[in-house]
Amino acid sequence: MSVELRSEQTAIHTDLGAIFVSIELSRSVWLLTSLSPGAGETMSKHSVRGGDVAGLLTQFAQLQEKARARTGQMYPIIAVQEAGLDGFWIHRVLESEGIESHVVDPASIAVSRRCRRAKTDKIDGEALVRTLLAYKRGEPRVCAMVRAPSPEEEDRRRISRERKTLTAERVQHVNRIKGLLFAQGIGDYEPLHRDRRTRLDALTTGDGRPLPVHLKAQISRELDRLELVLEQIKAVEAEPDHLLACAEEVAGAVPPERLLHLKGIGQEAAAVLWAEGLFRTFGNRRQVAAYAGLAPTPWKSGSVDREQGVSKAGNPRLRTTMIQLAWLWLRHQPGSALSLRFQERVRRNGGRVRKPMIVALARKLLIALWKYATAGVVIEGAAMRPA
């Protein structure tokens, strides 16, 4: 198949009612790519030192002044940037200055399907401007804009996320200590037991020797770090109690304490569900599943029809929590309609589809919890905790 390349670019036939600017962010330089009224199809490019907000606003003012000199009108700025390491602080600064700002999911932007496609900040900046133009024209599915959380919403997420980080660090320390002792023939030492210090002093190697001096000192320092992590986990776990108590006042329509009435859902799971997803406003169940990355992704072309699995394009923390909660739901809610349907499907297939079915159960359970938390729709057959 041959591809005919046109020598001249097609002009952008659109009535620009604003100056469209894309911001390519990096630590050292911010590259601005703009398309202004009266400039034809030519996109101008300017660079600003990374983190220089004053220089960015000055550059925006210069773009407006140039557009006014060409057309005699003052046009507003519409900016777009990719969601990434910089978070949302630049977006909030622009909005506070009265500039319309958008944050786009970079994975949702269409790119060339060639094996070796060119990629530079210049090319990405122009692609962002074209994407912003199509989005403002109202073209469907051209990209996915990120809904920036408020500073309060963003800060409340840190409790559950910090706990997960600390838990992973605890596992690392425990495995490190067990590995050091296993190399000496000791396999029955538990660093998480309260008598870990006393037990360490009494340990002997597999060949009957006392622990070497430097090894014992190394394990003692590992225990110091482990105990510090354990104290921090206790402090973090005490915070969700207050968070859940005042959540109804903060969130209004999404009281997470309602989730605690269901058997099998504890405070940690309720806090993660609320902070990572249920506090948001969704239009339908498909949006809920897509946000968690649990939506199916079919592949259909001609006679080819197969399922690729879940998209995994949403919130990974919410998706992981829902998979874990799905297994707990089967244990604590065996009489619910969701659990009975799961058992029936697994029994029908001879027990070979438990893992794919648990993902489907997680998706259905998330939708059911969303309806229950936001609208009070009782989950069919679910057992409630006694008052």
pLDDT tens digits, one per residue of 225-284: 999 999 999 998 887 665 565 555 544 444 567 888 899 898 888 888 888 888 888 889
Express as a percent the part of the chain with pLDDT over 90: 56
pLDDT of 13 above 80: no
The mean pLDDT of the chain is 88
Look up the CATH number of domain 19-148.
3.30.420
Q: Looking at residues 301-320, what average pLDDT do you find?
A: 87
DSSP H helical segments within 274-353, as ranges?
285-291, 316-332, 337-348
- Report whether pLDDT(7) > 80: no
For residue 54, pLDDT over 60 is answered with yes
Q: How many C-beta atoms lie closer than 10 Å to residue 31's C-beta?
A: 18
**Are the C-beta atoms of 208 and 227 separated by less than 8 Å?**
no
Q: How many CB atoms lie within 10 A of CB 113?
A: 6
**pLDDT tens for each residue of 362-377:** 999 999 999 998 888 8
* Residue 31 CA: distances (Å) to CA of 22, 145, 213, 215, 265: 8, 20, 57, 53, 47
**Any idea of the CA torsion for 376, 288, 78, 12, to the nearest 10 degrees?**
-140
Answer whether residue 154 shows pLDDT above 90: no
Q: In the prediction, which pLDDT does 225 show?
A: 97
pLDDT cut 70: percent of the chain above it: 91
pTM as predicted? 0.78
Q: 132 versus 238: which is more confidently predicted?
A: 132
